[in-house]
Amino acid sequence: MQRIVSVIGLFFIFTAFFTKLQKPIVYAQGGSVLGIHILNLGELKDAKTLVAQNDSDSWHYVTIPLSLNDLERTVEWQAFFDQAKNEKIIPLVRLTTTYDNGNWKIPTRDETLKLLDFLNQLQWPTDERHLIVFNEVNHRQEWGGELEPEKYATILRFVSTWAKAQPDQYVVLPAAMDLAAPNGPTTMEAFTYLRRMQTHDSDIFAFVDYWNSHSYPNPGFSSSPERQTQDSLRGFQHELTYLKKVTNRDYQVFITETGWASNKATDRWLESYYFYALQHVWSDPRVIAVTPFLLKGDPGPFKKFTFLDKNNQPTLHYTALQKALLKWRENT
């Protein structure tokens, strides 16, 4: 009898899962496309000030990582979600593990469940609960020193299956790829990685609700926004074309990392680069949100991308983006 009940229970779980899988998710928040990537819970106010100039009534976005080290911070994370609701901010929560011996650890199933259970106990600011399933896994450093598309596909399916079994409306985004990475000892070319994922699990992309892209203006985070190659600001278009070919499905996309490095080649052009991107690239109707990297990266290795410096003062990135936003909004 217990075995029969278990079988019936599994039937209903899988029925609910595949019903959710087939049902298209209607995005109803009415958000503005532009957001920002943050690293810390205390940065929401500064994030909103940057992206919501003259547009405070719209919802905006932040991408933020949740690590295994955060699992004792329930009060702080709930306060962050409460503030996000007040500020009209939609969080895109990226799952991470812990950094060890120069690599981000490969998540075990138990660790992944701990992250998901932690998020499940919180009151989110929006009906849709956005999960990003880890980060740039075509880098060995991001996946325990290994290049394992097959193992990552298994974890992605596991998270998606869990999400669809919940009563709340979770939406699942895969790890974004580094679209400029070559095949080599430390990285795997993005589409090689995706093909190996699908070879391992032919249905893997059906477990993704939206696509997730890191479309940087390479080479060197310094190229013109007019370039159209795979490693350019339009990299997401190459990914969506590939997905259409292999799944016959039209995906919408979140660009959760992008932006220029501050250097002699880019500084004088940043305002025009951002304006062009807003007008001609991020205006692609398939783009739901763009969260440039990074609001606060100074001091540290991300100083050349930071919008606020170590004294919390605006950098050239900040002023260039705000001027471009004002100009763009005047023309739309």
Q: What is the 3-state secondary structure (H, E, C) of the chain?
A: CHHHHHHHHHHHHHHHHHHHHHCCCCCCCCCCCECEECCCHHHHHHHHHHHCCCCCCCCEEEEEEECHHHCCCHHHHHHHHHHHHHHCEEEEEEECCCEECCEECCCCHHHHHHHHHHHHCCCCCCCEEEEEECCCCCEHHHCCCCCCHHHHHHHHHHHHHHHHCCCCEEEEEECCCECCCCCCCCECCHHHHHHHHHHHCCCHHHHCCCEEEECCCCCCCCCCCCCCCCCCCCHHHHHHHHHHHHHCCCCCEEEEECCCCCCCCCHHHHHHHHHHHHHHHCCCCCEEEECCCCCECCCCCCHHHCCECCCCCECHHHHHHHHHHHHHHHCC
Assess if residue 12 is contained within a domain. Answer: no
pLDDT score, position 323: 95
CA-CA distance, 125 to 62, in Å (whole number)? Answer: 12
In angstroms, rounded to a whole number, what is the distance separating the alpha carbons of residues 291 and 152?
24
Residue 81 pLDDT grade (very low, low, confident, very high; cuts 50, 70, 90): very high
- The whole-number pLDDT of residue 330 equals 86
Average pLDDT over residues 183-199: 98
Assigned domain for 270 exists: yes
The whole-number pLDDT of residue 133 equals 98
Domain count, the chain: 1
Q: What is the pLDDT of residues 290-314, one digit of tens each?
A: 999 999 999 999 999 999 999 999 9
- Window from 37-51, 96-110, 318-332 with minimum mean pLDDT: 318-332
Distance CA 202, CA 192 (A): 15
Q: What is the pLDDT of residue 32?
A: 72
Q: Mean pLDDT, to the nearest integer, of 80-92?
A: 97
Residue 20 lies in a domain: no
Q: Is residue 22 part of a domain?
A: no
Q: Is 162 within the bounds of a domain?
A: yes
122 vs 19 pLDDT, higher one:
122
What's the confidence (pLDDT) of residue 10? 36
pLDDT of residue 2: 35
Token digits for 172? 């699942």
Determine the length of the chain: 332
Q: Is-contact 171 130, C-beta < 8 A? A: yes
* Structural domain includes residue 94: yes
18 domain residue, yes or no: no
Tokens for 91? 């969080």
Question: In the predicted model, what is the mean pLDDT of residues 54-60?
Answer: 82
331 pLDDT tier (thresholds 50, 70, 90):
confident
Indicate the pLDDT class of residue 15, thresholds 50, 70 and 90.
very low
Average pLDDT on 235-256 reads 98
Residue 139's CATH number: 3.20.20.80
- Residue 5 pLDDT exceeds 50: no
Q: What's the confidence (pLDDT) of residue 56?
A: 74
Query: Is residue 9 over pLDDT 80?
Result: no
Q: Is the pLDDT of residue 316 over 50?
A: yes
Domain around 267: 31-330
Separation between Cα atoms, residue 234 and residue 230, nearest integer Å: 7
Q: What is the pTM of this model?
A: 0.91
Tell me, yes or no, whether 311 lies in a domain: yes
In this predicted structure, the answer to whether residue 30 has a pLDDT above a threshold of 60 is no
